[in-house]
Amino acid sequence: MSVDSPARAGRGRLVLTRLLAAPGVLIGGGTVLLLFLLAFVGPYLTHWSYTDIDYASLRQPPSADHWFGTGGLGQDVYAQTLRGLQKSLIIGLLVALLSTVLAGLVGACAGYFGGWTDRLLIFFVDLMLVFPGFLVITIVSPRLRSAGWLAFVVLLAAFNWMITARVVRSMTISLKEREFVRAAQFMGVRPLRVIWRHVLPNCASYLIVDATIAVGSAVMSETALSYFGFGVKAPDVSLGTLIADGTDTAPTYPWTFYFAAGLLVLFVLAVNLIGDGLRDALDPTADAARRPSRRVRDAARPLPGRRTDSPVPTVDEATA
């Protein structure tokens, strides 16, 4: 996991070479870039805004004026979809950032301090895993109606960090025995500083990959909750609320549904491709010479889109 300084330049180049060699990262990265452009520049290309209503055209198919057609009230589906895409992208990024920071801190503290700190934190993590975050967010959401979408971001992040924290914890436990951490401890460096300077940087590749995948899963949770009216609320729109609006009319007026649905799947897919490629490139156990057997290590890797670990302690942890 650690990289000593002479190898650093070589490692940077190695990571870059591997990234460029993996078509998934390029395709995924390009797609995400295009989607961001579409979401933030696209709205300026049309004179319709997402709140505009064109009474002259209800449920019209895509045309030169309304690029993605219009909805049941005469809303411009193009403007609405881009607005929803913006919201979903921002929520996804913020949730991933927040949850990764939280997971890194909790996991590293549990692993580093051990003993009762560890037991308490792990109990807490298990407790949060017993409830699907979805249920809790749904219960709390009526109370947060006034707090807006930022509160929703915090809630989503609060239920998205536990599994990552468990992995960081077990990584920290093995890092704690390493010479450089020992040396820092013996030199009297304070625990939090050791965690910040020596432990977390060594978990960085895992955290980066995990944050990427978290963006995808956050967008999926966001849209699912918004679909049922427990997330982003009118007049604001997200891809989830748009899909909800278009559900009933999808068979007869497909444009009200499939643009939002398609962009959602496209974005999550692109993010997962990046995550998968990054993992290959950053994995320190990867050996470029062993390229053909690269897939063998798939076993040890978390999946795209789903974060992996058991909700309950695994056997080695339990017996430890």
Which is closer to other proteins, CB of 42 or CB of 277? 277
Token pair in block for residue 145: 């109606």
Q: Quick one: CA torsion of 182, 185, 190, 195, rounded to 10 degrees?
A: 0
Upstream peptide bond of 235 is cis (omega within 30 degrees of 0)? yes
**Whole-number minimum distance, CB 220 to other proteins, in Å?**
4
List 54, 65, 118, 309, residue binding other proteins (CB under 8 A): 309
Tokens of 100: 């990764």
Q: Please give the residues from 257 up to 276 whose contact with other proteins meets the rule CB under 8 A.
A: 257, 261, 264-265, 268-269, 272-273
Applying CB under 8 A, which of residues 6, 115, 142, 188 lies at the interface with other proteins?
Answer: 142
Q: How many CA atoms, within 13 angstroms, populate the side-chain half-sphere of residue 43?
A: 16
* 53 counts as binding other proteins under rule CB under 8 A: no
In the structure encoding, which two tokens stand for residue 284, read together? 């320190």
Q: Answer yes or no whether residue 289 interacts with other proteins by CB under 8 A.
A: no
Stretch that binds other proteins, among 127-135, 145-153, 200-208, 279-287 (CB under 8 A): 127-135
Q: Name beta bridge partners: 53.
A: 75
* Cα separation, 307 vs 272, whole angstroms: 11
From CA 96, how far away is CA 24, in angstroms rounded?
A: 21
> What is the rounded CA–CA span in Å between residue 35 and residue 90?
12
Q: Could you say whether residue 30 binds other proteins (CB under 8 A)? A: no
Residue 135 or 183: the one with the smaller Cβ distance to other proteins is 135
Applying CB under 8 A, the site for other proteins has a residue count of 57
**Cβ proximity to other proteins, 13 vs 290, nearer residue:** 290
Site for other proteins in 164-193 (CB under 8 A): none
Using CB under 8 A, which of the segments 39-47, 82-90, 139-147, 281-289 binds other proteins?
139-147
Contact 181, 201 (CB under 8 A): no
64 contributes a contact to other proteins by CB under 8 A: no
Region binding other proteins by CB under 8 A among candidate stretches 74-82, 103-111, 174-182, 220-228:
220-228
Report the sign of the C-alpha dihedral through residues 44, 50, 52, 55, in that order. positive
